[in-house]
Amino acid sequence: MILKSRLTYSVCKTLYKRMTQYQSFSNQRNISKYKILGIETTCDDTGAAVVDESAHILGNALHSQTSISVSLGGVLPPYAKALHEKHIHNIVQDALTQAGVEIQDLDAVAVAVEPGLPLSLDVGLKHAQKLVMENRVPLIPVHHMEAHALTARMIDSVEFPFLVLLVSGGHCLLAVARDIDDFLLLGSSIDNAPGEIFDKVARRMKLKNLPQCYGKSGGASIELMAQQGDPDMFEAPHVYTKSRSCNFSFAGMKAHYCTYIEQEEKKQGIVASGVISNAADVCASFQFAVLRHMCRPIERAFRFCDYNNLLPETKTLVVSGGVACNQYLRAGLQRVCDKYGARLVVPPPHLCTDNGIMIAWNGMEKLLAGRGIADDPIAVKFKPKSPLGQDISEEVTRENIKVIPMKL
């Protein structure tokens, strides 16, 4: 409770009074643990959740736009914003009802403010600001990718520092997490994100027209189809970056497989909404190519961290983000960890995709550390583009670390 008395507000005196008098107020409410509401609206999912300091999920609600985005051929920002505005009140209320709390019973409201789609971020931030000002509770701005990175600490005893790979529809980031808000960025995608090319290849193959893929995301459709395919039927391209770095490049891979699909459509006489008969083989080959390309920067990152003593002797790789739901990729990354004597920690699928739980937990980590609380909630702004931590990728490149790819 001492932590609460040290948090100050420069603008809202009523919030300051609530914080400084927290001890007696808490006793009146008979509350023994901190509780935080998290709000997530960075892209096309509206999420809200309440967690406590022991990582218990007290309430969780989510409105997914995945099936709509698939039918529209991608996320349309104005449409996503309209759906956020339509559902956010009920989603937040559902999470609170499940948790059995009111807004004024919470110790803070955490909201994702960076990075993301501007129109989507605006909805979540405005709703959070309205809640905290009306109910006199603190506001904690959250970095969406940092939240993904720290979710593993909810489910496992992951201590800092650790290596983290964040793979989603908009990002591919490889970093060393040294603290809740201290990251060293080793590498990132220089073009497309892996989730983006999963969606685009699936869309080019028209997988949504198959009954088994109806309503599924591109990534989920490719993973499902690949289970019945032979990856050796189509040669998987080797993708190289210009230097020995920890960066990724997926654009060429996307073009390569779109060419495969076009050739097969011509060969098989596929037109309009038809799907090639060997789509499963293309999916299996594509999935293997993505895995093989992801492994080399991770291997180089382990070596770089060993050379520079950035990780403890018992190393951990955390993998999170929507693409981390792919079980085939998880199995392949486990083999990389086995080679380097590292532990692989991947949150369950419902915590890898965008959700309010990870935002609430990131807010909790900040609250418990006594930092990250907004002095003036109304002054908080969203940031569509926001880097992750300190970029030392050029330093990694200068090390010129040679990696002999392992056989997958």
Burial class (CB in 10 A: 0-12, 13-18, 19+), 321: buried
Count each helix (H run) and each strand (E run) in the chain, helices first. Answer: 16, 11
Burial class (CB in 10 A: 0-12, 13-18, 19+), 313: exposed
Domains and CATH numbers, the chain: 2-151+353-374 (3.30.420.40), 156-346+390-399 (3.30.420.40)
- Phi, psi for residue 216 in degrees, rounded to 5: -90, 155
The side-by-side arrangement of strands in the sheet containing 57-64 is: 57-64, 45-52, 35-40, 108-114, 139-143
E strands, 260-308, where?
Answer: none
- From residue 233, alpha-carbon distances to 206, 284, 286, 287 in Å are 20, 9, 11, 13
Q: What is the pLDDT along the chain (408 residues), one digit of tens a residue?
A: 333 333 333 334 444 444 443 333 334 334 458 999 999 999 999 999 999 999 999 999 999 998 888 888 889 999 999 999 999 999 999 999 999 999 999 999 999 999 999 999 999 999 999 999 999 999 999 999 999 999 999 999 999 999 999 999 999 999 999 999 999 999 999 999 999 999 999 999 999 999 999 989 999 999 999 999 999 999 999 888 778 999 999 999 999 999 999 999 999 999 999 999 999 999 999 999 999 999 999 999 999 999 999 999 999 999 999 999 999 999 999 999 999 999 999 999 999 999 999 999 999 999 999 999 999 999 999 999 999 999 999 999 999 999 987 888
Please, what's the b/e burial string for 269-288 (b: 16 or more CB within 10 A of its CB; e: otherwise)?
A: ebeeeebbebbbbbbbbbbb
Whole-structure pTM value: 0.90
Helix/strand/coil for 269: coil
